[in-house]
């Protein structure tokens, strides 16, 4: 190529680049957001999901969209994440919606309700059963947009200083229990309290609490509950599948380009998937360690389970009578649960039951 032709071609290429660059810059602007979590850094699976989100968003945008993660207490206390996102103190937060059921009992559906859905059903209901649209109607009233991000799966029933054999053993029991479930346990005579993760162990150690529930073996071991309460009950019937949510300030979400919205949504879903998968990997060995350290596994009695189920349905009926949104979401979730279990009882449950039975013969 002659020198003059080369310069002419190069000039045309530079001109094209100059035209393209502004368009790219408009769709990939530099953003720096802050995320506040409800979790301390010691809970590396929950807090780690926030770090995974931040890393993936940065990688997908060539570091143009950066999210700095803060643990509970670094900006606001763990139970004030919704408020911080709502008022714009931070752009985004990761929390459990049921912490805020006092603002509207419908927040219970965001995470889990007693005798609701298991982890896979919860995800399916939100993504394909209309649940996400219903919950975002609620979030919108609090200036937020929500993306389901991770599930702890079925949780344990908690740590008790004494054995709980009958309903009478629950009366007057000072029990740390998350969110909405306390309205049900109160009907059984329990004195329910909601505390953020960092405050639970000191209260149990000092005797301010008689029992605590948190998540499951891996996280419970980290918080050291087995040192002061040895009876470890199951199942946590109030959280058959507890979903965390990424809450985004609504104007900030709406101000994102479609590309950034897609990246943030996909990153949240991936971080949530990793969180759930990690729990399934780390809980079994943690359970073995807890038992080796003196934890005594106990199932809740049929009497307690059935009384709890009855109390939960009474609460739902009362709330539905005075809260139209609660009633609408409950009907959606319960219809989905009915349909889902009609399939699970045929295949999923029979397969799992057989597998567990055969383990004893291996």
Output the CA torsion sign for 338, 339, 345, 349: negative
pLDDT of residue 112: 96
| Distance from C-alpha of 146 to C-alpha of 250, rounded to nearest angstrom | 9
Are 123 and 129 within 8 A, CB to CB?
no
228 in a domain, yes or no? yes
pLDDT of residue 74: 98
pLDDT along the chain (362 residues), means of 10: 46 44 63 97 95 98 98 96 98 96 96 97 97 98 98 96 96 89 94 84 90 94 93 97 97 97 98 97 98 97 97 97 98 98 95 92 73
* 177 lies in the same domain as 273: no
* 185 lies in the same domain as 303: yes
75 in a domain, yes or no? yes
pLDDT of residue 195: 83
pLDDT of residue 9: 46
DSSP state letters, 289-331: HHHHTT-EEEEPPHHHHHHHHHHHHHHHHHHHHH-HHHHHHHH
| Distance from C-alpha of 180 to C-alpha of 238, rounded to nearest angstrom | 9
| Distance from C-alpha of 159 to C-alpha of 295, rounded to nearest angstrom | 9
Tell me which residue of 72, 83, 76, 54 sits closest to 144, measured CA to CA.
83
Range of the domain at 66: 30-152+241-281
Phi then psi for residue 264, to 5 deg, are -65, -40
Are 218 and 64 within 8 A, CB to CB?
no
Close Cβ partners of 185 (under 8 Å, ≥ 6 residues apart): 170, 175, 177, 192, 238, 308, 311
* 252 lies in the same domain as 229: no
User: Which of these three, 281, 305, 333, is where a domain ends?
Assistant: 281
**Prediction pTM value:** 0.89
* Structure tokens, 201: 């162990």
Output the CA torsion sign for 237, 76, 61, 258: positive
CATH number at residue 185: 3.40.190.10
| Distance from C-alpha of 67 to C-alpha of 74, rounded to nearest angstrom | 15
CATH number at residue 73: 3.40.190.170
211-212 vs 144-151, strand pairing mode: unpaired
pLDDT of residue 101: 93
* 206 lies in the same domain as 65: no
pLDDT of residue 122: 96
21 in a domain, yes or no? no
18 in a domain, yes or no? no
Helices (H), the chain: 3-27, 44-60, 81-86, 108-111, 119-128, 131-140, 182-185, 197-206, 217-223, 250-255, 258-292, 302-322, 324-344, 348-359
124 in a domain, yes or no? yes
Count how many domains the chain has: 2
């Amino acid at each position: 190529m002659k020198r003059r032709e080369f310069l002419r071609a190069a000039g045309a290429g530079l001109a094209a680049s100059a035209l393209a660059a502004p368009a790219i810059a408009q769709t990939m602007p530099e953003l720096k957001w802050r995320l506040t979590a409800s979790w301390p850094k010691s809970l590396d699976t929950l807090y780690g999901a926030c770090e995974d989100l931040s890393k993936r968003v940065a990688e997908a945008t060539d570091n143009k969209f950066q999210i700095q993660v803060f643990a509970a207490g670094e900006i606001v206390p763990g139970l004030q994440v919704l408020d911080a996102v709502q008022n714009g103190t931070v752009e985004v937060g990761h929390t459990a919606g049921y912490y805020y059921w006092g603002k509207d009992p419908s927040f219970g559906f965001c995470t889990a309700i007693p005798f609701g859905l298991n982890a896979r059903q919860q995800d399916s209901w939100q993504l394909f059963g209309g649940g996400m649209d219903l919950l975002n109607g609620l979030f919108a009233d609090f200036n937020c947009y929500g993306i389901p991000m991770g599930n702890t799966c079925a949780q344990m029933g908690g740590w008790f200083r004494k054995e709980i054999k009958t309903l009478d053993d629950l009366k007057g029991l000072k029990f740390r229990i998350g969110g909405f479930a306390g309205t049900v346990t109160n009907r059984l005579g329990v004195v329910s309290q909601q505390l953020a993760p960092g405050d639970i162990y000191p209260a149990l150690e000092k005797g301010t609490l008689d029992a605590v529930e948190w998540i499951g073996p891996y996280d419970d071991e980290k918080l050291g509950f087995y040192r002061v309460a040895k009876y470890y009950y199951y199942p946590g019937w109030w959280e058959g599948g507890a979903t965390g949510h990424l809450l985004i300030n609504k104007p900030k979400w709406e101000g994102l380009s479609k590309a950034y919205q897609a990246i943030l949504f996909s990153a949240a879903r991936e971080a949530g998937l990793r969180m759930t998968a990690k729990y399934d990997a780390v809980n079994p060995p943690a359970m073995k360690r807890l038992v080796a350290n003196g934890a005594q596994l106990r199932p809740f009695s049929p009497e307690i389970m059935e009384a709890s189920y009855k109390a939960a349905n009474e609460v739902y009926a009362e709330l539905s009578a005075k809260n139209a949104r609660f009633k609408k979401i409950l009907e959606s979730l319960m219809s989905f649960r009915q349909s889902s279990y009609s399939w699970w009882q045929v295949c999923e449950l029979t397969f799992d039951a057989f597998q567990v039975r055969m383990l004893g013969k291996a």
